[in-house]
Amino acid sequence: MSTTVEQRPAHKGKEAKAPVSDRTRGERRLGWMLAGPAFVVMLLVTMYPIVQALWDSLYSYRLTAPDDRSFVFLQNYMTVLGDPVFLSALLVTLFITVVTVAVELVIGFALALVMNSVLKTFRGVVRTAILVPYGIITVVSAFAWFYAFDINTGYVNTWFEWLPIIGPDFNWFGQQWSALFVIMASEIWKTTPFISLLLLAGLAQVPGELNEAAKVDGAGWWQRMYKVTLPSMKAAIMVAVVFRALDAFRIFDNVFIMTNGQYGTETLSLLAYRTSITRLEIGLGSAVSVILFLCVLLIAFVAIKVFKVDLAGGKG
Amino acid sequence: MTAKPHRRALRSVAVAAIGAFVLAGCASDDGGPVELTWYINPDNGGQTALAEQCSDASNGAYNISTSLLPRDAASQREQLARRLAAGDKTMDIMSLDPPFVPELAEPGFLATPPADVIERTTKDTLEGPALAAQWEGEYVTVPFFANTQVLFYRKSVAEAAGLDMSQPVTWQQIMDAAETQDKYLGVHGIQGESMTVWVNGLIESAGGSIVQGDAASAEGIQLGLDSEAGDKAAAIIGNIGDKGLGGPGISSQDESAAGVQFRGDKGSFMVNWPFVYPAAVAAAEEGSIDQSVIDDIAWTTWPRVDADTETAPPVGGINLGVGSDSQHQEEAWDAIECIVSPENQSSYMVSDGNPASSSVAYDDPEVQEAFPMSETIRESLDIAVPRPQTPYYNEVSTGIQQTWTPIYDVNENTPKESAEFITSVLNGEAML
Amino acid sequence: MTTKQKLGWAIAIVIVMIWSLFPVFSILMNSFKSNADLQSGGFLPSAFTWANYEMIFTGSARDLFLPALRNSIGISVIATALAVVLATLCAYAIARLDFRGKRIILVTALAVSMFPVVSIVTPLFNVWRQIGLYDTWLGLILPYLSLTLPISIWTLAAFFQQIPWDLERAAQVDGATSFQAFRKVIVPLAAPGVFTTAIIAFFIAWNDFVFGIGLTSTDAARPVPAALAFFTGASMFEDPAGAISAAAIVVTIPVIILVLAFQRQIVAGLTQGAVKG
C-alpha cells in the first residue's frame, strides 16, 4: 500500500544550497547516517528475499523431502508458464485488476467530489465515514461481505429474491462469476477511499480561476468537469490508477477468506502462496513468486515508460 | 466532531486505549516442572481437560499446555509441517490427522515411539486406527481417538420411501428415496478434505483403492482412480450432483453445513461423523430445533455401493506424535500414555463426541448411555478402510478435490482425468 | 443555497454514509446473532445476544482470540514506532540535507511499496526458520517495516518540506540554544506530521494478513487477521460465523476510534498537504 507521492520533496532550505565542499561532504555523511537505517531495512526485507526466491526457483525442492533437493534450472518456470492453472490465475488476476480499478475510479471520483465541495459542517462526518473502509482490516471486510452473501448466513438472497437467478437457493460462492462479483465488491469497498483521497488531492490542484472563467463563458457543470477539471487532474488520476492497479494485482486476502481459490477464483498471489506455503513446494512456489514479481515490475515499467506516469514526481 | 474539546477527549481515549492494550501485551511466562506443548485440533475442550488431568497426575513431572491448531485438517498439516521443518523444539505432543502421518514420518520429523509405550498403548486398539498410526509397518504415532462416518437418516423419510433400514442400504436406494421424497441428501461437496473422504469411501466400498504400488515415492505411486470402482464412484457422485440431491449449497457444503441441513425440513439421509448428533441434541436443547427432529434421527453403517459387497466406511481420528526435535521426549511419551488410557478415551468420547480407538473404551456403560450409536461406530470401525497412506497424500487429496468438484460436473471422464492430473502433479509437470 | 441543493447534498451524504458504513453494520449485526439466528437469512438479529463476545473473551474461542489480540497490538505498535523513528530520521535528511542518493532512497521506498508481499513470504519463512525468527514477534515486526516504512518516509518527507526551518535559526538568533530551538520551535511543528504518519503506519501493520499467516503458526505471534481465518465455533464443527463477527468488530474498534479522533489529520496525511487546512 502506498500513498500519493506526486508532491515530491522539492524546495530545500536555503542553507542546504551553500556550495561549500566540506559542508557538502559533511551533509552527505549525515544524510546517509540518518537515512541509512531505513534504507537498509527496506532493502534487507525485500531485496534479499526476492534474490533468495530467484535462487530457490531454480531447484526442485520440497520442504518435507529435504533430501531430494536438486538443481533443475528453468524447469519450474516451464512448468508454471505452461500450466492452465497459472494461466487461469493470471487471467482472473488481470480481470479483477481491470474491473476493480475502473469501478473504483468512478466511485472514488464521486466520493472525492463530495468531500471537496461538501459544506464545512459535514466535512468531518463525510471524511470519517470514508476513512472507515480505509482503516478497516481487509480480512474483516472479506468476512463482512462473505457472511452477507453466503447461502447459510447471508441475507442478500432474501433481499434480492425478486431478481432473476437470485433466490434462497443461490450459492454465490458456487461458481466463478458470482464468487468474483462478491470478491471484487469487497475489494472495491475497502480500497475506494484510497483512490478517492488521491483524487481529492488532484481536485485541490485544479486551478479555481479556470473553472470560474469557464463558468463565466457559460459552460455547464458537465462541460466544466470534462473540459477543465479532468484535464488538470490527469496526473493525479494516472498516479491513482497505477498505484491501485499494482495493489489490485496483488489481491490475496479477500480471495483467501471467501473461496480460497475454489471454482476458478484463484489469483496469482494465492497460487504462489498455496504452492510454496500450503504444498511446501519451495522451488515451484518460488518460481510463481518470481513471476508475480516480474508482472508487477512490468506494470510499473509500462506505466512509467509508456504512459509517462511520474510516480516519483518532479525531477531527480 | 468540530468542537475542539470534544476531539481532544476522544484523542485521549484513543491514546489511553492503546496504552492499555500495550500493557496487556506484557505478560510473562513462569517456570516450574517440564513444560510440554500439545498441539491440539479444535474440539469441545476435551483435550485441554485431559492435558490438565494428566499434568496433575504426573506429580509435578510435567505440565502440559495446549496450543490450538486451525479448524480444517489441511491447515493443521500445513502448520505442523512448517513448524517441524523449522526445527521447532517445542513440538512435544501433536494431535495428527492420520492421512498426514506418512508425510511427516518419511523425512524423520517424528520421533520413534519407545517399544514399551507402543505395547502398553495399542494392545486394545481397533484394527483401523492401529493401521492408521503406522508407516511402512512401524508405529510412528500412538492412536488416540478414532472416527468413522455412519449413515444418519430420518425415520419418517425412510418409512415414507419404504426402505427397510435394518438391512444394509445402497447409495442408489438412498438417492432414489431422497429424490422421490423431494428431500436433500447429506453429502459434502465442498472442495476440501471431506471430498477425498467421500471419493475414497466409495472407491474402497466398490473394491478399489486410490493409491496402489510403492506409495513412498512420487514416481512409484500407481493410481487406482481410473478403474471400475472409480467409475462407480463417479456415477454416484455425478448423479447426486446432476439431480441437485445435495441441496443448493452443495458446492460449499462441509460436514457441519450438512449436519445443519439434515436437521432442517429437507433432511433425509446423511453420511457424516458422529459429532453431528450431539450438535443436533445441543441445538434442540437451545431451542433452535424441535425435539421431534431428534426423535426422528436414527443411524446405521455407511451405505454400500454394490448391494452384495460390504461397505468400507471412512475412518478418521487423531493420533498423537512427538516431534523429533522435542527437548522432552521422555516426558512427552509418558504424557501420551496417560492421555490415551482407555478411561480417558471413554470420558473424552462422552465429553467431545469423538469415538475411542480402544475397543475397551466402548464397554464403559457411560459411553453406551451417552452415545446411543456407539455399537454402530464400533461395527463401522471394524470394517472401515483408511485413506491412502503416502507422503504425497496432500497432492493426491488436493488433486481429487479439484477434479471431483463441483459435483454436478462429475461424469464418466472424471476418474481418468483426475488420475492423469494427479500423476502429472506428482511428476512435477502440473500445478495444483 | 436553495432547498433543492440542500436536499441534493443531504441525499449525497446519506448515500456516502450507507456505502461506507453498511458492511460494518452488517457484521456488527451478525455478531449479535445466535447460531440459529445466523442461519435464518435475516439482516437484523431476532434477539440480541452477547454470546459471541462471551465466546471470544471468556469462552471457547478465548485461547485463540486473546493471544492473537495481544500479538496484533504488540507487533503493530512496535512496528509502527520503529517505522516512524526510522522514517523520521530518513525524511528529515531528505527534507533538510543536500546529499547524493536522496533520489535513490525515495525511489527505493516507492519500489518497496509496490512489492508483491506474497513473493517474499516464502524466502522469509526459509530464512526465519533457520535463524529462529519464525513464529516470533520480531519475525513479523521486520517484514511489517517493509510495509510501513515507504509510506512513512514519503508522508514525512512531504510534511517536513512544509516546515519553515528558518524559524529554528531565528530562535537561535534570539538566544536559544540549538537544542532549545529544536525542541521549542521544530518539534511542535513536526509532531502533527509524525503523529499522522504513525496512525497511517499503524493501519497498515494492523491490516496485514499475508505475513501473519505465512510467518506464524501458533499463538506465540499469530495476529488477529490470521487467527480469524482459523477460528472455530463453539464446538469442533460448528460454524464460527458468530465468533468471527464478534472478533472482527473488536479489532475494528481501534480503527473507528482513530478515524473519529483524527479524520482531518489522516486525510491531510494521505493527500500530503494538497488539502491545506
Q: What is the pLDDT of residues A141-195, one digit of tens each?
A: 999 999 999 888 889 998 988 888 888 888 898 889 999 999 999 999 999 999 9
pLDDT greater than 80 at residue A258: yes
**Predicted local confidence at residue A28, as pLDDT:** 80
Using a pLDDT cut of 70, give the percent of chain B over it.
Answer: 93
B176 lies in the same domain as B263: yes
Picking from C116, B428, B395, the residue whose alpha carbon sits closest to that of residue A76 is B428
The closest CB to that of C41, out of A56, A168, A204, belongs to A168
Separation of alpha carbons C6 and B96, rounded Å: 65
**Predicted local confidence at residue C235, as pLDDT:** 53
β-pairing verdict for B150-154 and B267-272: antiparallel
Separation of alpha carbons B106 and A45, rounded Å: 33
Q: Which residue stretches of B150-189 are H helix?
A: 155-161, 171-181
Compute φ and ψ for A236, nearest 5 degrees: -60, -40
**Predicted local confidence at residue B386, as pLDDT:** 86
Average pLDDT over residues A296-309: 84
- Residue B173 — pLDDT band, cuts 50, 70, 90? very high
Angle, vertex CA B258, rays to CA B255 and CA B259, nearest 5: 85
Separation of alpha carbons A277 and C229, rounded Å: 15
Provide CB contacts within 8 A for B228, sequence distance 6+: B206, B207, B208
Tell me if B3 is assigned to some domain.
Answer: no
Question: Mean pLDDT score of chain A, rounded to an integer?
Answer: 85
Burial of B369 (0-12, 13-18, 19+ CB in 10 A): exposed
Tell me if B297 is assigned to some domain.
Answer: yes
pLDDT greater than 70 at residue A3: no
In sequence order, what are the beta bridge partners of B67?
B39
Average pLDDT over residues B98-112: 90
Average pLDDT over residues B398-415: 93
Picking from B243, B246, B244, the residue whose alpha carbon sits closest to that of residue B258 is B246
Separation of alpha carbons A168 and A159, rounded Å: 9
pLDDT greater than 90 at residue B160: yes
Contact C77 B18 (CB under 8 A): yes
Separation of alpha carbons B107 and B216, rounded Å: 11
Average pLDDT over residues A131-135: 92
pLDDT greater than 50 at residue C30: yes
Average pLDDT over residues A257-277: 91
Contact C200 A3 (CB under 8 A): yes
The closest CB to that of A4, out of C19, C27, C271, belongs to C271
CB pairs under 8 A between A and C: 350
**Amino acid making up residue A159:** W
B202 lies in the same domain as B298: yes
Q: What is the CATH number of the domain that holds B133?
A: 3.40.190.10
| Residues of chain C with C-beta less than 8 angstroms from the C-beta of B24 | 70, 73
Average pLDDT over residues A22-40: 84
B131 lies in the same domain as B173: no
Per the listing, cell 488531492 goes with A201
Contact C16 A140 (CB under 8 A): no
Tell me if B345 is assigned to some domain.
Answer: yes
DSSP C123-141: HHHHHHHHHT-TTSHHHHH
C-alpha cell belonging to residue A194: 484510497
Distance, CA of A123 to chain centre: 26
Contact A2 C154 (CB under 8 A): yes
Neighbouring C-beta atoms of residue C163, cutoff 10 Å: 18
Three-class DSSP category at B68? strand
Q: Taking CA atoms, what residue in C is nearest to A52?
A: C123
The closest CB to that of C74, out of B22, B260, B287, belongs to B22
Domains of chain A plus CATH, in order, are: 81-306 (1.10.3720.10)
B76 lies in the same domain as B200: no
| pLDDT tens track for B6-32 | 544 444 444 444 444 444 433 334 456
DSSP B123-145: TTB-HHHHHHTEETTEE-SEEEE
The closest CB to that of B1, out of A80, A124, A288, belongs to A124
Q: Identify whether the C-beta of residue A201 lies closer than 8 Å to the C-beta of residue A4.
A: yes
Strands (E), B19-114: 34-40, 62-68, 93-96
| pLDDT tens track for B332-390 | 999 999 999 988 898 888 888 788 888 888 888 888 887 788 889 988 988 888 898 88
- A120 close to C (CB below 8 A): no
Neighbouring C-beta atoms of residue A304, cutoff 10 Å: 14
The closest CB to that of A276, out of C42, C122, C161, belongs to C122
The closest CB to that of A135, out of C41, C166, C258, belongs to C258
Contact B252 A271 (CB under 8 A): no
B298 lies in the same domain as B340: no
Bigger pLDDT: C71 vs A218? C71
Domains of chain C plus CATH, in order, are: 63-230 (1.10.3720.10)
Burial of B139-164, coded b for 16+ CB within 10 Å and e otherwise, reads: bbbbbbbbbbbbbbbbeebbeebebe
- Residue C238 — pLDDT band, cuts 50, 70, 90? low
Bigger pLDDT: A129 vs A6? A129
**Residue A188, CA distances (Å) to A145, A270, B382, C254 in order:** 11, 18, 53, 22
Tell me if B9 is assigned to some domain.
Answer: no
Per the listing, cell 504444498 goes with A279
Q: Name the DSSP class of B356.
A: B
Contact A85 B391 (CB under 8 A): no
Separation of alpha carbons C219 and B134, rounded Å: 30
Average pLDDT over residues C152-172: 83
Distance, CA of B399 to chain centre: 18
Choose the weakest-confidence range: A289-303, B76-90, B144-158: B76-90
Q: Is the dihedral of CA B29, B32, B38, B40 positive or negative?
A: negative
Separation of alpha carbons B78 and B346, rounded Å: 30
Q: How many CA atoms lie within 13 A of B349 on its CB side?
A: 37
Per the listing, cell 493410481 goes with B223
C-alpha cell belonging to residue C52: 459471541
How many residues in total does chain C contain? 277
Separation of alpha carbons A288 and A281, rounded Å: 11
Q: Identify whether the C-beta of residue B79 lies closer than 8 Å to the C-beta of residue B109.
A: no
pLDDT greater than 80 at residue A308: no
- Residue B43 — pLDDT band, cuts 50, 70, 90? confident
B199 lies in the same domain as B286: yes
pTM of the model: 0.85
The three-state DSSP-derived secondary structure of C23-83 is HHHHHHHHHCCCHHHHCCCCCCCCCCCCHHHHHHHCCCCHHHHHHHHHHHHHHHHHHHHHH
How many residues in total does chain B contain? 432
Separation of alpha carbons A226 and C166, rounded Å: 42
Tell me if B383 is assigned to some domain.
Answer: no
Contact A124 B430 (CB under 8 A): no
Q: Name the DSSP class of B35.
A: E
| pLDDT tens track for C102-131 | 888 888 888 888 888 888 888 888 888 888
Q: Identify whether the C-beta of residue A35 lies closer than 8 Å to the C-beta of residue C89.
A: yes
pLDDT greater than 80 at residue C1: no
Neighbouring C-beta atoms of residue C11, cutoff 10 Å: 10
Tell me if B432 is assigned to some domain.
Answer: no
Picking from B398, B364, B392, the residue whose alpha carbon sits closest to that of residue B378 is B364
**Predicted local confidence at residue B89, as pLDDT:** 83
| Residues of chain C with C-beta less than 8 angstroms from the C-beta of B41 | 236
Three-class DSSP category at A10? coil
Enumerate chain B positions whose Cβ falls within 8 A of a Cβ in A.
1-2, 74, 78, 81-82, 85, 103-104, 106-107, 109, 190-191, 248-252, 257, 260, 391, 394-395, 398, 405-406, 428-432
Neighbouring C-beta atoms of residue A110, cutoff 10 Å: 17
B256 lies in the same domain as B398: yes
B303 lies in the same domain as B161: yes
**Predicted local confidence at residue A167, as pLDDT:** 82
Largest CA distance in chain C: 74
Separation of alpha carbons B224 and B208, rounded Å: 7
Choose the weakest-confidence range: A49-58, B107-116, C31-40, C142-151: C31-40
Compute φ and ψ for B66, nearest 5 degrees: -105, 150
Q: Taking CA atoms, what residue in C is nearest to B75?
A: C230
B193 lies in the same domain as B279: yes
Enumerate chain C positions whose Cβ falls within 8 A of a Cβ in B.
34-36, 39, 60, 63-64, 69-71, 73-74, 77, 125, 128-129, 134-135, 217-219, 229-233, 235-240, 254, 257-258, 260-263
Three-class DSSP category at C106? helix
Q: Is the peptide bond before B406 cis (omega within 30 degrees of 0)?
A: yes
**Amino acid making up residue A37:** P
**Predicted local confidence at residue B185, as pLDDT:** 95
B183 lies in the same domain as B231: yes
Give residue B106's domain range: 34-140+316-375
- Give this complex's ipTM: 0.90
β-pairing verdict for A70-71 and B315-321: unpaired
Three-class DSSP category at B75? helix
**Predicted local confidence at residue C232, as pLDDT:** 62
CA distance A85 to chain C (A): 18
Tell me if B17 is assigned to some domain.
Answer: no
B262 lies in the same domain as B200: yes
Bigger pLDDT: B221 vs C24? C24
Average pLDDT over residues A240-264: 91
β-pairing verdict for B93-96 and B134-135: unpaired
Q: Taking CA atoms, what residue in C is nearest to B84?
A: C129
| Residues of chain A with C-beta less than 8 angstroms from the C-beta of C224 | 137
Helix (H) or strand (E) holding B314: none
Q: Domain end: B353, B375, B397, which one?
A: B375
Separation of alpha carbons C51 and C31, rounded Å: 9
- Residue C209 — pLDDT band, cuts 50, 70, 90? very high
Domains held by chain B: number: 2
pLDDT greater than 70 at residue B154: yes
Tell me if B39 is assigned to some domain.
Answer: yes
Q: Identify whether the C-beta of residue B141 lies closer than 8 Å to the C-beta of residue B260.
A: no
Average pLDDT over residues B113-131: 87
- Residue A208 — pLDDT band, cuts 50, 70, 90? confident
Q: Identify whether the C-beta of residue B157 lies closer than 8 Å to the C-beta of residue B228.
A: no
Return the residue in C35, C88, C118, C206 with the most chain A beta carbons within 10 A, the one to mutate for interface testing: C118
CB < 8 Å from C in window 88-107 of A: 107
Q: Taking CA atoms, what residue in A is nearest to C17?
A: A129
| Residues of chain A with C-beta less than 8 angstroms from the C-beta of B85 | 63-64, 66, 280
Average pLDDT over residues A83-112: 94
Question: Mean pLDDT score of chain B, rounded to an integer?
Answer: 86
B179 lies in the same domain as B39: no
The closest CB to that of A38, out of C30, C126, C153, belongs to C153
Select the highest-mean-pLDDT range: A275-289, A295-309, C93-107. Answer: A275-289
The closest CB to that of A155, out of C41, C110, C124, belongs to C41
Q: Identify the chains in contact with A, defined as 3+ C-beta pairs within 8 A.
A: B, C
Q: Identify whether the C-beta of residue A283 lies closer than 8 Å to the C-beta of residue A63.
A: no
**Predicted local confidence at residue C111, as pLDDT:** 86
pLDDT greater than 90 at residue B268: yes
| pLDDT tens track for B417-427 | 999 999 988 88
